[in-house]
Structure 1
Amino acid sequence: MRKKQKRDLYAPEEFDEIEEGPSRSQLKREMHELQKLGGDFAALGDKVIKETDLPPEVEEALLLIKKLTKHEARRRHMQYVGKLMRTFDTTRVREIVEAAQQGHAIKTAEFHQMEQLRDRLVDGDDDLLQSMFTAYPEDGQRLRQLVLGARREKLKGQPPKNSRALFKMLKKLPPMPEKDSPAS
């Protein structure tokens, strides 16, 4: 009886026509990305989830995410959510999540702009204070009082009570006209 050699078992022409798909690593990256998308979408709230036309089992799974507190249960459930997210077109979900993230970025930028404006006023930018006084005549006097109080607090090393009140007032004021707007 003749012993089979490894050469006889290997036939490379068999593998020539096999179509290669994405690698396992790529599939895992896509799976994790869908899990993250599901988690980000669920974080937007129950109302957003219910208003979006999702398959019922996906909607139910997304609503359940907030109720799970145990780490392992949450991890397994997120895997399930990722599996469900592969069953339908997630374009609409992506758009909603991106819009929410962009809205957050805009609010953060506006917040930082207000902080810079307040800091410039407290640090002694009297030209800016005068332009704001003329731009907001009804609030000008209170604005000037808060700025002067914040400057005194800063000099004496006191808690920033007036500085906080100034920031709140700046948030409530409408944006200044472009020609009077300060350059940061």
Structure 2
Amino acid sequence: MRKKQKRDLYAPEEFDEREERPSRSQLKRDMHDLQQLGGDLAALGDRVVKEANLPPEVEKALLLIKKLTKHEARRRHMQYVGKLMRTFDTSHVREIVEAAHQGHQVKTEKFHRLEKIRDALVDGDDDLLQELFETHPEDGQRLRQLVLGARREKASGKPSKNARALFKLLREFPEDEES
């Protein structure tokens, strides 16, 4: 009887015909992405989750996330959400979450733009003040009063009560007419 040799056990031809499938690490990354997607959707609120047209068990699981306060329970539940998210096409969910993030980004950009306008007015940009006065004559007097008051507060080092009121007034102006 002949003893098996190591080279008899290894046949590289067997491995040439294997299907290429994702690695275990890639599967884990995909699973974590789906968990994150579910968490992001749940963070948008109950109304958004209900309007997303999800399967009932997924919707129920997403609505339950906010009620869980214990870390380990929440972690296990997020794994369950990830498992449920694998059962259907999540492209619609990704679109909803992306649209929400873009909406937030637009609001942030508008906020920063208004802050720059306010700071320019308080720092003494009279051309901008005149331009705003001409485009909004109904609020022009109030605008000038707030700008002058904010400039005085800044010069004396007092808290900027008028600058906050000026920012609120600028927020009320229509979007298309802002500088």
Q: Report the TM-score, using the length of structure 1 for normalisation.
A: 0.93
- Identical counterparts, % of pairs: 77
SS at match of 1:139: helix
Number of aligned residue pairs:
179
1:176 shift after superposition: 5.5
**Structure 1's 176 and 59: CA in aligned 2 closer, same or farther, altered over 3 A?**
closer
> Are the aligned partners of 1:41 and 1:49 in contact in 2 as well (CA < 8 Å)?
yes
* Corresponding position: 1:164 with 2:164: yes
1:26 shift after superposition: 1.4
Within a 5 Å distance, the mapping from 1:91-170 to structure 2 comes to 91-170=91-170
1:4 shift after superposition: 2.4
- C-alpha deviations, 1:112-164, integer Å up to 9, x for none? 00000000000000011111111111110010000000001101110010000
Higher helix share: 2
Work out the CA distance in 2 between the residues paired with 1:132 and 1:175.
Answer: 13
1:6 shift after superposition: 1.6
Work out the CA distance in 2 between the residues paired with 1:50 and 1:102.
Answer: 21
Unaligned runs of 5+ in 2: none
Q: Which amino acid aligns with 2:90?
A: T
Work out the CA distance in 2 between the residues paired with 1:175 and 1:11.
Answer: 71
> Are the aligned partners of 1:153 and 1:160 in contact in 2 as well (CA < 8 Å)?
yes
Q: Which amino acid aligns with 2:165?
A: A
Answer with 7-16 or 162-171: which moved more: 7-16
SS at match of 2:138: coil
Within a 5 Å distance, the mapping from 1:6-25 to structure 2 comes to 6-25=6-25
Q: Report the equivalent of 1:59.
A: 59
Q: Report the TM-score, using the length of structure 2 for normalisation.
A: 0.95
> Are the aligned partners of 1:135 and 1:176 in contact in 2 as well (CA < 8 Å)?
no
- C-alpha deviations, 1:8-39, integer Å up to 9, x for none? 22222221211120112211111111111100
RMSD, matched Cα:
1.3
Q: Report the equivalent of 2:82.
A: 82
